[in-house]
């Protein structure tokens, strides 16, 4: 959809090749204009439209909404592009255009399907857009782990998950902290452990959980 690295041909196809026999796929549908406008300004939406990226960005946001809705009942992963955690209400950078996580969470809250939420952003880069769009909302707790060791990173995640009660947990799933990516910190088993901890926290809360693809 653009020439940037996040849109490089083959990225999503590589994931599909690995998981195609292990999951049930759900076709994404675009987010409604009112759901996008609940998070982003008219100016920003117009800028994304001017760049001819509205359709693909709305499709990603819609996939995030679907994942959140499904996540209320069973685990769901939004395998979507473009990512969204660097998108604020009136601006965006880092290959992001719309705040997929914020659009999904705000829709659930607006429709009274949740009262409380947690966002765990495990991407290498700080999710400034998510914080800018959701950080002032009293129903959401957000963590961008900042520890520089594997053990402390996992412990930081665990403490966050244990500290809150939430109807849903959303994971901004960036994988650029992986040892084989430029973060060079986490092993594949660490991501498995994070997933296990989220599953247990959701079960304890009697809530749901879902994830959205970010970077890496």
- Give the catalytic positions in this structure: 86
Sign of the CA dihedral running 211, 168, 147, 39:
positive
For residues 181 and 122, what is the distance between their CA atoms, to the nearest angstrom? 14
Task: Provide the token pair at 65.
Answer: 């909404």
């Amino acid at each position: 959809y653009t020439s940037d690295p996040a849109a490089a041909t083959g990225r999503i196809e590589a994931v599909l090749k690995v998981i195609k026999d292990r999951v049930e796929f759900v076709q994404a549908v675009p987010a409604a204009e009112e759901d996008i406008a609940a998070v982003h300004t008219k100016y920003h939406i117009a800028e994304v439209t001017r760049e001819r990226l509205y359709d693909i960005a709305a499709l990603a946001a819609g996939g995030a909404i679907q994942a959140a809705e499904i996540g209320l009942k069973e685990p769901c992963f939004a395998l979507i592009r473009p990512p969204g955690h660097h998108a604020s209400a009136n601006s965006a950078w880092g290959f992001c255009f719309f705040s997929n996580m914020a659009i999904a969470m705000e829709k659930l809250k607006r429709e009274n399907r949740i009262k409380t939420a947690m966002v765990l952003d495990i991407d290498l880069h700080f999710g400034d857009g998510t914080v800018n769009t959701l950080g002032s909302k009293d129903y959401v707790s957000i963590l961008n782990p900042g520890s520089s060791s594997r053990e402390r990173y996992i412990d930081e995640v665990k403490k966050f998950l244990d500290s809150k009660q939430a109807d849903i947990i959303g994971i901004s799933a960036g994988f650029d902290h992986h040892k084989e990516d430029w973060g060079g910190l986490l092993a594949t088993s660490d991501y498995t452990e994070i997933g296990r901890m989220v599953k247990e926290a959701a079960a304890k809360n009697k809530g749901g959980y879902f994830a959205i693809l970010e970077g890496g």
